[in-house]
């Protein structure tokens, strides 16, 4: 019981920091949706965006990421019940996190050469710069851009 209370406190603190989202905690999602790219946390997109992503898996950004019905439905339920509403997820009608107005605003000062370099490739590759991205921590203190270093 004590352990559980402590966990909740830790999570509460994590949520209190700017630039943090709840980490992925679904094994099926991790297996099916984090093999080709970083496993984007559900809170990075809103419910509508996730529904669009999951409706179009056979033509997923130029690749086929289709799933069986059972897996599809389970992952969709996980994404929807943990979808974001504010911050990065707000006012986004696209299927991309990187096209959300807040995301674009946050990244507009990042030089294109640092994004296009082979160690990063594109802004979709969150974990190339956000060293604690897999923990849902996007705070500035945890940013380290390849061939550039810390962002301050």
Instruction: Give 2 or 49: the residue with its C-beta nearer to ligand HEC.
Output: 49
> End-to-end alpha-carbon separation of the chain, Å?
41
C-alpha distances in Å from residue 9, one per residue of 6, 41, 134: 5, 20, 20
Q: Which residues, listed in sequence order, are joined to residue 84 by a DSSP beta bridge?
A: none
Instruction: Give 7 or 146: the residue with its C-beta nearer to ligand HEC.
Output: 146
State yes or no: residue 138 binds ligand HEC (CB under 6 A). Answer: yes
Q: Which of 52, 105, 107, 150 binds ligand HEC (CB under 6 A)?
A: 107
Give the tokens for residue 16: 């209190």
State yes or no: residue 83 binds ligand HEC (CB under 6 A). Answer: no
Cα-based angle 131, 134, 136 (whole degrees, multiple of 5): 95
CA distance 102 to 56: 24
Residues lying near ligand HEC in the complex (CB under 6 A) are found at: 18-19, 32-33, 35-37, 40, 44, 53, 57, 60-61, 63, 65, 75, 88, 96-98, 106-107, 109-110, 114-115, 120, 122-126, 128-130, 138-140, 143, 145, 151
């Amino acid at each position: 019981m004590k352990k559980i209370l402590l966990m909740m406190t830790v999570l509460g603190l994590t949520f209190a920091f700017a630039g943090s989202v709840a980490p992925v905690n679904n094994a099926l999602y991790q297996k099916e949706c984090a093999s080709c790219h970083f496993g984007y946390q559900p809170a990075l997109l809103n419910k509508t965006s996730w529904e669009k992503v999951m409706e179009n898996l056979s033509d997923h950004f130029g690749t086929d990421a289709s799933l069986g019905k059972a897996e599809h439905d389970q992952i969709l339920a996980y994404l929807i019940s943990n979808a974001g509403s504010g911050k990065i997820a707000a006012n986004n009608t696209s299927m991309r996190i990187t096209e959300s107005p807040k995301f674009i605003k946050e990244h507009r000062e990042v030089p294109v050469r640092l994004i296009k370099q082979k160690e990063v490739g594109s802004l979709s590759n969150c974990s190339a710069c956000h060293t604690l991205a897999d923990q849902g921590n996007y705070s500035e203190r945890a940013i380290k851009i390849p061939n550039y270093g810390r962002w301050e």
